[in-house]
Amino acid sequence: MSSFKEKIDSYHLPRHIAIIMDGNGRWAKERGYDRIFGHQNGVISVREVTEAAAETGIKYLTLYAFSTENWARPEHEVNALMELLVDTIEKETPTLNKNNVRLKAIGDLSRLPAGAAKKLQRCIAETSVNDGLTLVLALSYSSRWEINNAIKLLCNDVKNSKISISDITDETISNYLTTREIPDPDLMIRTSGEIRISNFLLWQIAYTELYFTNTHWPDFRKENFYEAIVEYQSRERRFGK
């Protein structure tokens, strides 16, 4: 069986791939397990896809790990997800360094439990000089939270005469978002069959190619990732021109 990897044109790679990692709960339920088991298995997919992105030469990979709305899930699920996050980040820091991966995080990190926030910041600091792949974790993230936050910051700067209203461009707005310094995604993948965006990167995906697959996140492997890149490369991006 020939691999999708061989079909990738390495001269036209998407610079930034964003993924809505969905379907952990359904994957576990189908096997008669608790949802948490699905999240634990989802970590394996995170590891695989990060490695695949680094090997392929993708510069930015953003993973939607926990949304603002996910705080409303049952407490035991939220706690399990936070614990999984902390454990994984700690365990994976040496591998990130070995693979020249820099970690970043976007979202309302002030809502994370103190222990989780501290370990996250430590991993970010310890990988900050790596210049291969930038892995961006969206944590306690939602696009409306981000835009709301940006408007507040921008209004404040207008009020303090740091910027005048007539100077506000699209680029200015991008620079007030938590994704400043990160290029807009070229490709966004959502697993597990739902055809929606669920409050992810609304401003940034204006011209992003969207890719939906029925595969649940814990089943998503390197080949699935390569397949999405091959599909992306078959599309014609016109940007309205």
Active site residues: 22, 70
Q: What is the smallest separation between the CB atom of 47 and ligand IPE, expressed in angstroms?
A: 15
CA distance 225 to 4: 9
Among 8, 13, 14, 25, binds ligand IPE (CB under 6 A): 25
| Stretch of 60-68, 100-108, 109-117, 127-135 contacting ligand IPE, by CB under 6 A | 60-68
Among ligand IPE, Mg ion, none, residue 86 binds (CB under 5-8 Å by kind): none
Q: CA 229, CA 58: separation in Å to the nearest integer?
A: 10
Query: By CB under 6 A, how many residues form the interface with ligand IPE?
Result: 18
CA atoms of 43 and 189, how far apart (whole Å): 17
Residue numbers 185-204 binding ligand IPE by CB under 6 A: 192, 194, 196, 198
Residue closest to ligand IPE, measured at CB: 25
Cα–Cα distances in angstroms (integers) from residue 211 to residues 9, 102, 190, 208, 215, in the given order: 18, 25, 6, 10, 12
Q: Mention every residue, 6+ apart, whose C-beta is less than 8 A from residue 187.
A: 14, 16, 17, 18, 208, 209, 211, 228, 229, 232
- Cβ–Cβ < 8 Å for 107, 141: yes
How many degrees, rounded to 5, is the angle at CA 132 between CA 185 and CA 94? Answer: 115
Site membership for ligand IPE, residue 24 (CB under 6 A): yes
Q: Is 22 in the site for Mg ion (CB under 5 A)?
A: yes
Comparing CB distances to ligand IPE, the nearer of 70 and 121 is 70
Which residue of 37, 64, 145, 232 would you call a contact of ligand IPE, by CB under 6 A?
A: 64
Place of tokens 């976007």: 106
Cβ closest to Mg ion, residue 181 vs residue 194: 194
Q: Which does 20 bind (CB under 5 to 8 A by kind): ligand IPE, Mg ion, none?
A: ligand IPE
Which among 4-12, 22-30, 87-95, 101-109 is the span making contact with ligand IPE, rule CB under 6 A? Answer: 22-30
- What is the rounded CA–CA span in Å between residue 184 and residue 187? 9
Judged by CB under 5 A, the stretch of 19-27, 65-73, 146-154, 199-207 that binds Mg ion is: 19-27
How many distinct helices (H) and strands (E) make up the chain? 8, 6
Q: Cβ distance 104 to 125 under 8 Å?
A: no
* Least distance CB 141 / Mg ion (angstroms): 15
Query: 66 vs 176, which CB is nearer to ligand IPE?
Result: 66
Verify binding: residue 227, Mg ion, rule CB under 5 A.
no
Do the Cβ atoms of 237 and 55 come closer than 8 Å?
no
**Which residues contact ligand IPE (rule: CB under 6 A)?**
20-26, 64-67, 70, 81, 192, 194, 196, 198, 217
Which residues in this chain contact Mg ion in the complex, by CB under 5 A?
22
